[in-house]
Amino acid sequence: MTDQASLLLRKQLKELTKNPVEGFSAGLNDDSNLFEWAVTVLGPPDTLYEGGFFNAILKFPPDYPQSPPDCRFTSAMWHPNVFPDGRVCISILHAPGFDPLNPQESAAEKWSPVHTVESIVLSIISMLSSPNDESPANIDAAKEWRENRAEFRKKVARIVRRSQEEL
C-alpha cells in the first residue's frame, strides 16, 4: 500500500508544482518524507480571513488514498470547524462508514479515494468561507460566531494580522 500511496503523492506533488492552484501552496515538509506536506492557505477574498497566510500540515496514512489524511493548522486559527489544537474538522477528512459522533454526515460527504491534495485544500478554503456551526469542533468559536459576531471578527482579525507578521 505504501508504494501505491508514494506513487500517487509524488504524482500529485508534480501536478501541483507544474500547475499551481490559486489560493494555496503545498509541498513536502521534508524532501525525504512524501507523507507529510506543508500547506499555506491564503485567506479567501471577501471573508474575515482575507489577507491571512495560514500554515498547516497534511499527514497522509500509508494506505492513502483509501484513508484520508489528517490536517492541522500550525498557524493560530479561530474557526468553528477547527479544533483548538489546529485539527481541521470537515466531512471529507472523515473516514467512510457510520460515525456515532457525526450521525448527520452522509457517506457522500465523507472521504473518498477520488479526493486529491487539491480537492482537500479547496475544501478547507471553502470551510474558511462558510463556517458550519451546526457540528462545531471548537464550541467556543461556534458560540461566538452565533452570538457575538463582532468579537468573533476581532479575534479573526488578530490571527490574520499575526499570520502576516509571521511571514
Set 9, 41, 89, 160: catalytic member: 89
Distances (CA, A) of 133 to 26, 110, 143: 28, 18, 8
Q: Looking up cell 497566510, which residue turns up?
A: 53
Name every residue whose Cβ is closer than 8 Å to that of residue 119 and which is 6 or more positions away in sequence.
Answer: 92
Given strand 70-73, what is the order of strands in its sheet? 24-28, 36-42, 53-59, 70-73
Told to judge if 89 belongs to the known catalytic residues of this protein, a careful annotator would answer: yes
Separation between Cα atoms, residue 98 and residue 29, nearest integer Å: 32
Distance, CA of 34 to CA of 25 (rounded, Å): 16
Comparing CA positions, the residue from 55, 69, 57, 97 lying closest to residue 8 is 69
**Residues assigned a catalytic role:** 89
